[in-house]
A = this chain, B = another copy of it.
Amino acid sequence: MGVTTMQDVADRAGVSIATVSYVVNGTKAVTPATRAKIEAAMADLNFQRNRAARALAIRRTQNLALVYPALERRLGATSVEFLTSAATAANRSDYHLTLWPVSNDAVGLKDLLSAGLVDGVLLMEVLLDDPRVTTLRDAGTPFAMIGRTADPSGELYADIDFDATVSAALDRLESLGHRYVALIGERGGTGALPGYGPQVRTDEAFARLVAERGLRSVTVGCEQTASAGSDITQQLLAEHPEVTAILVRNEQATLGVMVGVRQAGLRVPDDVSVIALGTTGDISTMSSPALTMMQSPGEELGRLGVEILVDYLESGTRTPPQLVPCTFLPGASVAPAR
């Protein structure tokens, strides 16, 4: 029932409570015979050491906070993967993950930190210029970012490798003969944060890579709805009829882009290839033809974020930045250039 205490175990094993603690934690060497008695007693009593008491004694809670913006940005299905993976990774290291929805302006963040509730913070949806990072740094709270600020040097973080992601998408398109590629991103709308890293870094990577490869290109943005995606796509294809491939980094607009191609009198993928960037696999099966996509590594980022943070907490190790490319998810929306 969880009411068994270390004292109960000690009594039953006929040893002191200190010795029980030594075997539970592996802190000190203990005679095999003594250890056996204690382990038997623990099994009999179904002993689980009390977290609160331990936390008080060692002055660490083994709790991690997952801080994310409650309202500012709608989190999609990728986030659930991310959360689950982070929580699972935490559990593996005997930590727990507490959900901490706060507003982006860092209100409420300070109170959290001083209550000694958590040992460290995992920060999601990091902005290029993020007040929460400043707050955490000033407070001296250990933290790791998922994403990164404009200048993240010296901080702990894991992020998407936007360069490798865009590069992989272009590789595939080039190999199929595409020479004129469009990028549709976000613009306006309630979900678009100013200085949102993934957007800015994707744009930069795209601009540089098409130049390096000598590809023709065009970049536009639209609000995060299907109809905006459809509209911008029709306009795009009217103004740049030679475009044969579109990269979309705008989850809500993606399916609208597919519709827009059709409404322009063209077919996916026969006339125009479409690759969705950085979304979750769900959307692929939701569309027909199934979308070809570069899938966000939500699971890997969740795990890495926790590992980086825990390593730092446990051993002071400052793991270098971890950049993970999106993974290619085959679909039916890409074909050779017409």
Contacts and interface: CB of A to CB of B under 8 A. Distances in A.
A99 B87 contact: yes
A38 to B, nearest CB: 18
Nearest to A189: B285
A29 interface: no
Contact of A226 (B75, B91, B288): B288
B100 A87 contact: yes
Given A87-B101, A227-B285, A255-B286, 18 more contacts: A48-B114, A48-B116, A51-B117, A52-B52, A53-B56, A56-B56, A63-B98, A74-B80, A77-B77, A77-B80, A87-B99, A97-B99, A225-B290, A226-B287, A226-B290, A251-B286, A256-B288, A259-B288
Contact of A111 (B48, B116, B227, B288): B48
- In the complex, the count of this chain's copies comes to 2
Interface string A279-319: 00011011110100000000000000000000000000000
Contacts of A4: 114
Contacts of A79: 80
A104 interface: no
A290 B227 contact: yes
Contacts of A139: 1
B288 A227 contact: yes
B52 A226 contact: no
Contacts of A55: 52, 55
A16 B111 CA distance: 24
Contact of A96 (B87, B117, B286): B117
A286 B256 contact: yes
Contacts of A98: 63, 96-99
Contacts of A282: 74, 76, 252
Interface string A232-260: 00000000000000000001101110010
Interface of A: 1-2, 4, 46, 48-53, 55-56, 61, 63, 66, 70, 74-77, 79-80, 83-84, 86-88, 91, 96-101, 111, 113-117, 139-140, 224-227, 230, 251-252, 254-256, 259, 282-283, 285-288, 290
B83 A51 contact: no
Nearest to A4: B114
Contact of A286 (B52, B56, B254): B254
Contacts of A113: 2
A245 to B, nearest CB: 21
A56 B52 contact: yes
Given A2-B116, A114-B48, A224 B84 contact: no
A40 B111 CA distance: 17
Contact of A252 (B83, B91, B286): B286
